[in-house]
Amino acid sequence: MTWQYGPAYGEGPWLSSTDGFVRLSLDAMLDLRLEHMLSRLEQDPQDIARCGAQTAICGYSEWFSRAAPCLSIGWDWRLVCAPGVPGLARAGWPRSNVMVIDRHGADYAWRRNLEVLGTVVDALPWRDNPRQVLLRCTL
């Protein structure tokens, strides 16, 4: 495995390797400013054909960093409704090119990496206004 260090492979808080992952400490990950790139609705064509069938509103979102290191994190979500209050809930683990590393530079175990990335996603403001998220979505 070939390692390259930091922004433009100079000094920096992240590592990039030939396996496609951007490796970051948790602190470096939390310091990044992630921005909304897109959200889309997912629709099962079979649901459209079945009038009166139970359905679910679900989709996915992708956020990214403009500054180095260039990374993205995406996840599926679904609309959930408490009485009179619509909300969004993450469905499943995020997808990303980020591998969180410990203070010794070792990769987190895959499941722990996904759990940490899930916590990062849950801390982003993507659920603050479900109506706005749904209005931004296209099929």
Spatial CA neighbour of 30 closest among 16, 11, 13, 10: 13
- What pLDDT is recorded for position 51? 67
Task: Delimit the domains of the chain by residue range.
Answer: 3-136
| Predicted TM-score of the model (pTM) | 0.77
What DSSP character marks residue 97?
S
10-55 pLDDT, tens digit per residue, is 345 556 667 888 899 999 999 889 999 988 888 765 555 566 666 6
Give the residue among 97, 94, 78, 95 at the shortest CA–CA distance from 86: 78
Determine the CATH number of domain 3-136.
3.10.450.610
Classify 92 in phi/psi space as left (phi over 0), alpha (psi -120 to 50) or beta. left
Whole-number Å distance between alpha carbons of 57 and 71:
27
